[in-house]
């Protein structure tokens, strides 16, 4: 069987012999990326410059803008584990695409989200790029704004069979944003004051989507569960936003999905573990004790301990479904 590397070396030679013009070769790259389940490293090295170049077009023309969106969509299909470290010039060009849109609003919602997805998948290899994404491009602020606007556009009350094309598109883009955010919140260690606003927006989408769209609500749960593990995300903020109340309400429902129940338990276990730790200095330690007291009072009032105990026999079952929950129920109690 001919390897992908051999195949794409051969294709690139054909292109250099002018058998394919630049547009045809770019179209070939877009098709392969969007249809393939994985990406050969050599192929991306050959084709990435053409796709980034196509996505950088700024001409206000419907046909050109369609090509820009398709190029960004193709680039966003490359997952972070498919390839090695990307070239800095391609990342810089993508940063400029995002900056230009923030000033001129030239991309569609899908195109803008695709640019962010491509960039976020690349910063897996570069911590400094993560800081640029958070502090210079304000990813968390932009994502929160997009979530808020998309959630307002979706008709959450309509019946499943009654979907207009516009609403399907907006739900699709919203789902893509949440997939990108789930990855970002899982691997990001950059502290930023915009983080709390993003959590608030995710929580709003969760409230709107539960009982309406399982995929969207589950991604919200995953993102909030990742947030509970971050030291720089204040627990009292999660408490005041109503994340605790909503998760407790959901976990008691008779129709609760097993996968969701496992994520809720992981959320409360992460909160408990953090509150049992010690602060690095006196001020941090004082805040931790205050938050611990508030959380304990909330747990007592809501009866969380007895609810967790009721799940004790199911914890081993959840662990068999790729959760990593403690079998000791006291690990879920902040007063233990």
The 10s digit of each residue's pLDDT in 259-318 is 888 899 999 999 999 998 877 777 788 888 899 999 999 989 999 889 888 888 788 888
Same domain? 95 vs 8: yes
Same domain? 84 vs 56: yes
Task: Say if residues 175 and 111 touch (Cβ distance below 8 Å).
Answer: no
Distance between CA atoms of residues 319 and 322, nearest Å: 5
Distance between CA atoms of residues 6 and 13, nearest Å: 11
Same domain? 225 vs 240: no
Q: Tell me what percent of the residues of the chain surpass a pLDDT of 90.
A: 37
Total structural domains within the chain? 3
User: Domain for residue 120, yes or no?
Assistant: no
Q: For residue 317, count CB atoms less than 10 angstroms from its CB and return exposed for 0-12, middle for 13-18, buried for 19 or more.
A: middle
Same domain? 94 vs 9: yes
Residues in the chain: 336
Same domain? 207 vs 223: yes
Q: What pLDDT does residue 173 have? A: 95
User: Domain for residue 164, yes or no?
Assistant: yes
Out of 231, 259, 278, pick the residue that ends a domain: 231
Distance between CA atoms of residues 299 and 314, nearest Å: 21
User: Domain for residue 53, yes or no?
Assistant: yes
Out of 190, 209, 231, pick the residue that ends a domain: 231
Distance between CA atoms of residues 35 and 74, nearest Å: 9
Same domain? 2 vs 101: yes
Distance between CA atoms of residues 94 and 72, nearest Å: 9
Q: What pLDDT does residue 15 have? A: 47
Same domain? 222 vs 290: no
Span of 35-39, 88-92, 189-193, 295-299 with lowest mean pLDDT: 35-39
User: Domain for residue 127, yes or no?
Assistant: no
Out of 198, 231, 264, pick the residue that ends a domain: 231
Give the CA angle between residues 76, 182, 94 to the nearest 5°. Answer: 30
Confidence (pTM): 0.85
Task: Say if residues 280 and 264 touch (Cβ distance below 8 Å).
Answer: no
Q: What pLDDT does residue 168 have? A: 81
Longest Cα–Cα distance in the chain = 74
Give one DSSP letter per residue of 220-283, joined into a string. HHHHHHHHHT-TTS-HHHHHHTTHHHHHHHHHT-TT--HHHHHHHHHHHHHHHHHHHS--SSHH
Q: Which of 1-15, 65-79, 156-170 has the highest mean pLDDT?
A: 65-79
Structural domain boundaries, residue 51: 1-107
Same domain? 171 vs 202: yes
User: Domain for residue 117, yes or no?
Assistant: no
Same domain? 259 vs 220: no
Distance between CA atoms of residues 259 and 225, nearest Å: 13
Same domain? 213 vs 238: no
User: Domain for residue 179, yes or no?
Assistant: yes
User: Domain for residue 131, yes or no?
Assistant: no
pLDDT averaged over every residue in the chain: 83
Q: Which of 252, 297, 292, 287 is nearest to 272 (CA)?
A: 292
User: Domain for residue 199, yes or no?
Assistant: yes
């Amino acid at each position: 069987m001919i390897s992908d590397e051999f195949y794409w070396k051969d294709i690139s030679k054909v292109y250099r012999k002018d058998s394919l013009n630049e547009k045809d070769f770019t179209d070939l790259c877009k098709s392969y990326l969007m249809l393939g389940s994985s990406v050969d490293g050599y192929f991306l090295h050959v084709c990435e410059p053409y796709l980034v170049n196509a996505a950088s077009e700024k001409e206000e023309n419907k046909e050109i803008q369609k090509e820009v969106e398709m190029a960004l969509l193709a680039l966003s299909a490359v997952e972070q584990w498919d390839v090695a470290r990307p070239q800095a010039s391609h990342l810089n060009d993508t940063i400029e695409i995002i900056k230009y849109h923030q000033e001129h609003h030239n991309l569609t919602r899908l195109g803008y989200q695709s640019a962010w997805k491509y960039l976020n998948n690349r910063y897996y290899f570069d911590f400094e790029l993560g800081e640029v994404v958070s502090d210079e491009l304000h990813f968390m602020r932009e994502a929160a704004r997009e979530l808020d606007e998309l959630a307002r556009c979706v008709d959450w009350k309509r019946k499943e069979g009654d979907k207009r094309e516009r609403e399907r598109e907006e739900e699709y883009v919203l789902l893509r944003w949440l997939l990108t955010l789930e990855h970002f919140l899982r691997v990001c260690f950059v502290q930023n004051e915009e983080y709390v606003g993003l959590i608030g927006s995710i929580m709003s989408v969760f409230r709107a989507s539960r009982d309406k769209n399982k995929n969207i609500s589950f991604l919200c749960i995953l993102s909030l569960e990742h947030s509970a593990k971050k030291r720089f995300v204040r627990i009292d903020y999660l408490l005041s936003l109503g994340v605790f109340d909503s998760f407790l309400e959901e976990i008691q429902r008779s129709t609760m999905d097993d996968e969701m129940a496992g994520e809720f338990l992981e959320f409360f276990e992460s909160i408990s573990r953090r509150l049992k730790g010690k602060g690095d200095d006196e001020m941090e330690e004082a805040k931790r004790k205050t938050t611990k007291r508030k959380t304990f009072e909330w747990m007592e009032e809501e009866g969380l301990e007895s609810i967790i105990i009721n799940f004790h026999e199911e914890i081993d079952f959840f662990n068999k479904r790729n959760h990593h929950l403690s079998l000791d129920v006291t690990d879920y109690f902040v007063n233990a």
